[in-house]
Structure 1
């Protein structure tokens, strides 16, 4: 359950102000059809994060536990730093309208997530917790927690979120997770 809750919280916080959240705002403004946009986000995230979690488990199986602890700890600390760097949306991500609302969202979100902070976090969390199901369920829920309000409320909430504060909180969580991992905290408890 810890893998699910941590994955949900960390991704929900990391997603605030992320390029995929910016993409959600753009798609909502362009199409004004929240249900197919939300379904596109859901399916794209499930597919992308399932692949990322599978990669995380594969990496964990190939690396010695002691080395993996250092790789994961340093990865979480790198994520903490990366989260503090603001994202920009590539305009090509939003120019797929010929595929309809659902298709455009599905393709744009899947592509935008490749190499994104939340995908990298999913790889690391799956390697850490050794659970594709709990991590993917958590990271997907985290994406939805951050992006569904963006789709439904759009411009009304865009300027009201304290994005810098949210990024600092997410960075602090990743840094703490990295330090705890490097120190071996929870090693005997499936962490």
Structure 2
């Protein structure tokens, strides 16, 4: 069996533009403004790896998962994230904490930031367009390794871009402002997913 560069390239070329304007990039960027960059990157990368393996292993069978159940889980994860971000953002102002030094970086254990990032992105990727694309490409090319690797590289590229942007933004804006905006973004994602869970579509 020969290694299919065509399948790898097709997966990369298809998944990258799908994910660039998607919630994957935004969620990773938001997480980077809250936590240190490396734990976030490790967490989201691990989530992408697991999701790629699942998509390749089950292929088009992923489309049989109840979409409303998937949407409900995504809504819950983003809802929890929004609550945590908004609570922290308003608490800092109430306590009069200074944002000047080390703005944006939260003093939390690396393992916690990694697990949080993994959980958020793992839930967000369920039923996503890229996951369905991976399943479809696997069926088309019959090259699960190459398709999975190409899709994973595309997702890691998106995550790297988001982490780099998040690091730049984090040091230029007050922590509480970043957390309020991030909480608002997560709230929108949660409401959209909740609407899908209730009304379908």
The TM-score normalised by the length of structure 1 is: 0.59
Which of residues 52, 55, 59 in structure 2 aligns to 1:52? 55
Aligned to 2:138: 126
Q: Summarize deviations over 1:97-124 as a string: whole Å, max 9, x none.
A: 9x71100111111111000111111111
Aligned to 1:136: 148
- Give the Cα separation in 2 of the matches to 1:25 and 1:123: 26
Aligned to 1:189: none
Q: 1:15 aligns with which of 15, 19, 29?
A: 19
Q: Judge conservation of contact 2:37–2:167 (CA < 8 Å) in 1.
A: no
Indicate how the Cα distance of structure 1 residues 128 and 55 shifts in structure 2: closer, same or farther if over 3 A, else same.
Answer: same
* Residue 109 in structure 1 maps to residue 113 in structure 2: no
1:39–1:102 Cα contact (<8 Å) kept:
yes
Asked whether 1:35 is paired with 2:30, we answer: no
Gaps of 5+ in 1: 60-74, 76-88, 158-191
Query: CA–CA distance in 2 between the matches of 1:110 and 1:24?
Result: 11
CA RMSD of aligned residues (A): 2.9
CA distance in 2: counterparts of 1:9 and 1:50, whole angstroms: 18
Bigger radius of gyration, 1 or 2? Answer: 2
* Counterpart Cα distance in 1 of 2:81 and 2:53: 21
Cα distance in structure 2, aligned partners of 1:40 and 1:96: 18
Displacement of 1:94 after TM fit?
5.8
Calculate the TM-score normalised by the size of structure 2.
0.56
